[in-house]
Amino acid sequence: MTNGTSAQAPARLADAIAAPDNFPSLGARLPRRIWLPLLLLLVASIPWRRGAYFSGGLDTVVIAKAALTVVAASLALPYGALPRRAVPAAPFVLLGLYLTISAFGAWMYGDLIPTLALVMRVGLAAVVVYCLLSSFDTADVLMGLARGMLVVGGFAAVTGLPTLSSGRLSGGLPPIAPNEIAILCGVPFIVLFWRAVYVGRSRLDVLLLVALAVTVYATASRTGIALLVAATLLALIRARHLRAIVVVMAAASAPLLAYVCAYTDVFAGFLDRGGTGNTATLNSRTIAWTAAAELAQDWLQHLFGAGMSRKIIAVTGQYWSTQTLDSTWVSTLVQAGYLGLVLLVGLIVYGARGVAFVPGPLSVLLAVLLFFSVGRSILESGMMDASSGFLTFFVLVTAAGAVRLQRNRLTTSRGDRL
C-alpha cells in the first residue's frame, strides 16, 4: 500500500506531531474530498430503520445505502498531482482476510448473498480510508471524521428531541438508537476535549463540548457515558503539562461529582436504567452470548463462522425468543469464527503498536480514541461491520500506522541529506 513518492511527505507531518497547534480546529476549512466521502459513508452506515436487519432483499433503503457508499468511494479516489503519503498494508491485509473468512463461512451455511453485500460495503469503506490517508494529512482526515460524526449525530439528536419523553434520547431522522448517538457524539467530544487540553479552546469549542456532553448523557447509554468519562480522564493523565483552566475545572468538579454519586439517587437511577426486565441489560446479554458460544455445529463453523449477516440469535428459556448480539467480540465469533477473533485481535494490536510509536500529543488523541472505540466493542456490536463504529476503528488503526511510517520515512530522508 505504499509507493515510491511517499518519502516526499511534507514537513507539516513532523510539525503536527510535535506541535498540536498544527492540528486543525473544528472550524478549519478542509478539502471537500476529505469531509464529503466520510460524511456520505457515515450516512450510509447508520441504521435508517429501527430494528430492521439486512437479509438479502433489495429495497429503496438498501439501494440508496449502496449508492452512497459507491459515490463516497468514487469521490475519495486520488486524481491530479496530490502528494502521496505512505499507508501501511497490514490493516488492509488483516481486514481482507477477515472478510474472506466471513464470506466463506456464509457460503458454507447459506447466507452468502447478504454477507457479500456487507463485505462489499466494508471493503469500499476501507478503500475510502486508504485513498484519504494516502492523499491528505492524517490530522485533516481525523478532523474530517469528527466533523462528519458531529453533523450526523447532532442532526439525529435534534430531530429526536421528542423521544426524551421516553427517558432516552433516540434519533429522529434517521431513527437511530441511543447508543449510536452516543458514539457519533462521543468521538467529536473527545477530539474537542483533547484540543482544549493540549491546544486551546474557543467559545465555540466550549459550547460544543457542553452540548455534546449533554447529548451523550441524554442517551442514557451507560457504556458510552462510562467510556467517555474514562477517555477524558486518560487524556488528562497522559498530559505532561495541563493548562491552568483545566486544572481549576477538574478540581472544582471532583467534589461535585462525589456529592452527586454519594448523596443523590442520580447515579443509582442511571445504573438501574430500564429495570431488570429490559433485554438490553448485562444479564440478558450474557444469555445471548451463551447461545452464541453454543451455536456452531461443527469445527468448520467454529473456525469460519456463519457470515456477517448473522446479527440475531435464537435464545431459549426466556420470554423472548431472539436477541441481537450486543458485543463485537460475540458477533465476530458468530460471523467469522475463531479465525475472525484472531484477526480482530491482530487489528487492535497493530493499532495499539502504531499509537505507541507515535510521539507527542497526537499519540494521546489516537490512544484515547482507540480506547473509546475498542472499549465500546465489549458491550456493543458493529466494530467489524458496515457501521460508524467500524469506520472510526479502521481510520484510527490505519492512521496510527500511517503516521509511524511517514515519520520514519521523513526521518530517513532527512538523515540521508545530512
How confident is the prediction along the chain (418 residues), in pLDDT tens digits per residue?
Answer: 544 444 344 445 544 454 566 678 777 788 999 999 999 999 999 988 876 666 666 678 888 999 999 999 999 988 765 667 889 999 999 999 999 999 999 998 877 888 998 999 999 999 999 999 999 888 899 999 999 999 999 999 999 999 998 888 999 988 999 999 999 999 999 999 998 888 777 788 889 999 999 999 899 888 888 899 899 888 887 766 555 555 555 555 556 555 555 555 555 555 565 454 444 456 667 777 777 777 777 888 889 998 998 887 777 667 666 777 888 999 999 999 999 999 999 999 999 999 988 877 888 899 999 999 999 999 888 899 999 999 999 999 999 998 888 777 666 555 444 3
* pLDDT for the residue 98: 97
d(CA 285, CA 393): 23
pLDDT of residue 388: 94
- Tell me what pLDDT residue 337 has: 93
DSSP assignment of 282-343 equals HHHHHHHHHHHHTT--SHHHHHH-S-TT--EEE--SSS-SEEE---HHHHHHHHHHHHHHHH
Q: What is the pLDDT of residue 56?
A: 62
Q: 328 and 316 in contact (C-beta within 8 Å)? A: no
Half-sphere exposure of 368 (CA within 13 A, CB side): 27
pLDDT of residue 44: 94
